[in-house]
Structure 1
Amino acid sequence: MTTTSATPIGTSAPRFARILGTGSYLPPKRLTNAELAAQLAKDGIETSDEWIVERTGIRARHFADAGVAASDLALPAARAALEAAGIAASEIDLIIVATSTPDMVFPSTACLLQHKLGIAGGAAFDVQAVCSGFVYALTVADSMIKTGAANKALVIGAEVFSRILDFKDRTTCVLFGDGAGAVVLGASATPGILASELHADGSHANILCVPGTVAGGQVLGDPLLKMDGQAVFKLAVGVLEKVARSVLAKAGRSDADIDWLIPHQANIRIMQGTAKKLKMPMDKLIVTVHEHGNTSAASIPLALDVAVRSGKIKSGDTVMLEGVGGGFTWGAVLLDF
């Protein structure tokens, strides 16, 4: 698969960033709701396929095997995006990995991925904004390309959320999955990323968090995910509509100009609620949550790659990406593909 190539840039021409290729990767282990329910039942935790689907729209998710790290998932996703873009890894001078489940405390997952790609020298760092992470990372990469700090960037969301789930809490452990999604961004004289906006409000930190840390060789606090689902739902729908409209205004576009909406794949109700507020028909909403679950920072690039490779999203389409996650963080990017 090959996407639109970057337009050559003259020395005095404006610089923009365009997506040149997409890629994704899911670990082989696929777990249906029924299979997960059977595992939870062994520990006395009751749930069912019907209960999960009714509340979330999720039917399955993928879990990484023991020993598989975020960079291991990011690597095949990155290679797929590079192949789609038709460029070599050696041309990449910026790598940003959005993740809340890094390989280690440091160095960054991006540095480890850079080494696995067999390259060195360009900037590489992680962004931690949980489920908004890919939108944050894409915005940073866009800014660096526009200013000339980078020419070709790999922007990746990669998560092994299965490692931080409390499998005694059926309200959270059924929601998440593992995976990675990637895009290659390149400098161009033709606008690709049209506008973006990022926000955060730390006063809501307690409604979605992993309240643990490492100190003195021990885990302090609780290293498992905690979430107030109702509070997250209420906040998410409101901020997603507001940030989408703000980004449209920045770009001089309207609701009617959006060909495809790719929100963070957390819960089908939140996604449908956002689409309705933007007056978008449901057949223009890209949905992968039923097969992937919530893959946090990986969910948007995973859904984007699925939509591109299936032929839904084509060159020239206008796409809205939206993320909302723990922090509390949220943001949106509007782009011409």
Structure 2
Amino acid sequence: MRKPLVSLDDIAGYLPENRVPAEYFAQFAESDELADHVMFKAPAYRHHIAVGETPADMVERAIAPMLQRRGRGLLDEVDVLIAHTQLPDIAVVGNGGEIAHRLGINPEWLIDLHNGGCAAFVYAMKLARQILETTDARAALICTVQNAAGQIFTQPTVRTKPQAAVPGDGAGVGLLTKSGHSPILDIVARHYPAYAGQMTGIAEPPRKYWEAGAGEMHVGFTESKIAKVLTRGNQMVPEVAYSVCRNIGTDTKDVDLLVTNQPNRLFLRNWRDALQLPPERHPDTFDDCGNLFGAGIPVTFDRVVRTGGVAAGDLVLFAGFAHAGDFAAAAAVDWQGPAAA
């Protein structure tokens, strides 16, 4: 039996109101051997979540424009909810259940996607498409939340580090349905388990992240580790992007829009150069939003859609990699605009 077509029917994003300039971090900056590294060149702005703002709050605010356009009735069709939260504030289980409750849905498939990192949106697309193709599920909602910037990277001993100025907070939501409206043409996802333990959280004095202690947790970087991440990221994203294009029988130069995660300016430049695309076909939200991790792809694409930067019939290629290079994924969509209610 032929598998049903699955489409990315709609997209929505959310950025917190608190827009933080680079000067906020500059006032705390201390001398650091990594201060001038290209990996940590700060964006002009980033957004930080409000005190007490939860992942469920962020998803509710992200999906609000979609519900205004289409009506809350679309939630009645959602049988699949996949949620990825950078910093789950509900221990062990994650925030998927709370998000479902807040939206008033009781999906048969409720998945907290704890891996996938900066490419989690594409990974969630792959999982949702598989479920929609092989079950009676009607629609899937995928939610990615980045909420670590205003909580981890503003801590007194962390905000002094070069890495602190790079992340921003935000959330993105995508709606997948069984339809031919904006069909997903292909998805390639690759895990690299050998690198899975190389993005580490550290504190001084050393402790496990769940143990009590005086030192504030942050991401541990060294020159050697950064060099490896840069090499892997420069290779992995073009590799999965080229694989998708080969699978659908097109050349990367013919892609109308490349939407990637937004880690830093160097990666963005190298990726579009490797795929032979001009800057105008590779939207860049880094200087306004910083590194949004898993929320970067949907938030960036939502901005392009809202500002008229993509047309019906455009071939959109989503691509990204995660953490120290343990995962990379790409997806191609024949975009026709948000589906009508």
TM-score band, normalised by shorter chain: 0.7 to 0.9
Q: In 2, Cα distance between the equivalents of 1:60 and 1:298?
A: 16
Q: In 2, Cα distance between the equivalents of 1:270 and 1:60?
A: 18
Alpha-carbon RMSD across the aligned residues, in angstroms, is 2.7
Identify if the C-alpha distance between structure 1 residues 169 and 207 changes in structure 2 by more than 3 Å, giving closer, same or farther.
farther
Q: Residue in 1 aligned with 2:45?
A: 60
Choose from 36, 54, 60 the match for 1:75.
60
More deviation, 174-183/64-73 = 64-73
Q: In 2, Cα distance between the equivalents of 1:84 and 1:185?
A: 16
Q: Report how far residue 110 of structure 1 moved.
A: 1.7
Q: Residue in 2 aligned with 1:154?
A: 141
Letter in 1 for 2:148: F
Question: Superposed, which structure 2 residues align to 1:248-259 within 5 Å?
Answer: 248-259=245-256
> Mind listing any 5+ residue stretches in structure 1 that lack a counterpart?
1-11
Q: Residue in 2 aligned with 1:246?
A: 243
Q: Report how far residue 224 of structure 1 moved.
A: 2.3
**Corresponding position: 1:334 with 2:323:** no
Q: Residue in 1 aligned with 2:178?
A: 187
Q: Report how far residue 58 of structure 1 moved.
A: 1.5
Q: In 2, Cα distance between the equivalents of 1:152 and 1:99?
A: 21
Alpha carbons 1:108, 1:125 under 8 Å: kept? no
Q: In 1, Cα distance between the equivalents of 2:253 and 2:69?
A: 29
Q: In 1, Cα distance between the equivalents of 2:182 and 2:13?
A: 24
Choose from 102, 106, 111 the match for 1:120.
106
More deviation, 83-92/205-214 = 205-214
**Corresponding position: 1:164 with 2:152:** yes
Alpha carbons 1:99, 1:133 under 8 Å: kept? no
Q: In 2, Cα distance between the equivalents of 1:149 and 1:273?
A: 42
**Corresponding position: 1:297 with 2:302:** no
Q: In 2, Cα distance between the equivalents of 1:295 and 1:82?
A: 23
Q: Residue in 1 aligned with 2:12?
A: 23
* Identity between Structure 1 and Structure 2 (%): 24
Alpha carbons 2:3, 2:134 under 8 Å: kept? no
Q: In 2, Cα distance between the equivalents of 1:334 and 1:255?
A: 11
Cα deviation 1:266-300 (Å, max 9, x = unaligned)? 11210111111111111101111111101111010
Q: Report how far residue 190 of structure 1 moved.
A: 5.4
Question: Superposed, which structure 2 residues align to 1:1-337 within 5 Å?
Answer: 14-38=3-27, 40-41=28-29, 45=30, 56=41, 58-85=43-70, 87-128=73-114, 129-162=116-149, 163-165=151-153, 167-168=158-159, 170-189=161-180, 192-210=183-201, 218=212, 223-227=217-221, 228-326=225-323, 328-337=326-335
Letter in 1 for 2:321: V
Q: Residue in 2 aligned with 1:4?
A: none
Letter in 1 for 2:113: V
Identify if the C-alpha distance between structure 1 residues 55 and 106 changes in structure 2 by more than 3 Å, giving closer, same or farther.
closer
Identify if the C-alpha distance between structure 1 residues 322 and 269 changes in structure 2 by more than 3 Å, giving closer, same or farther.
same
Q: Report how far residue 13 of structure 1 moved.
A: 6.1
Identify if the C-alpha distance between structure 1 residues 115 and 241 changes in structure 2 by more than 3 Å, giving closer, same or farther.
same
Q: Residue in 1 aligned with 2:339?
A: none
Letter in 1 for 2:243: S
Letter in 2 for 1:201: Y
Q: In 2, Cα distance between the equivalents of 1:84 and 1:257?
A: 31
Identify if the C-alpha distance between structure 1 residues 273 and 85 changes in structure 2 by more than 3 Å, giving closer, same or farther.
farther
TM-score scaled by length of structure 2: 0.85
Identify if the C-alpha distance between structure 1 residues 240 and 219 changes in structure 2 by more than 3 Å, giving closer, same or farther.
farther
Q: In 1, Cα distance between the equivalents of 2:255 and 2:23?
A: 36
TM-score scaled by length of structure 1: 0.86
Q: In 1, Cα distance between the equivalents of 2:39 and 2:263?
A: 14
Q: In 1, Cα distance between the equivalents of 2:95 and 2:136?
A: 21
Q: How many residues align?
A: 319
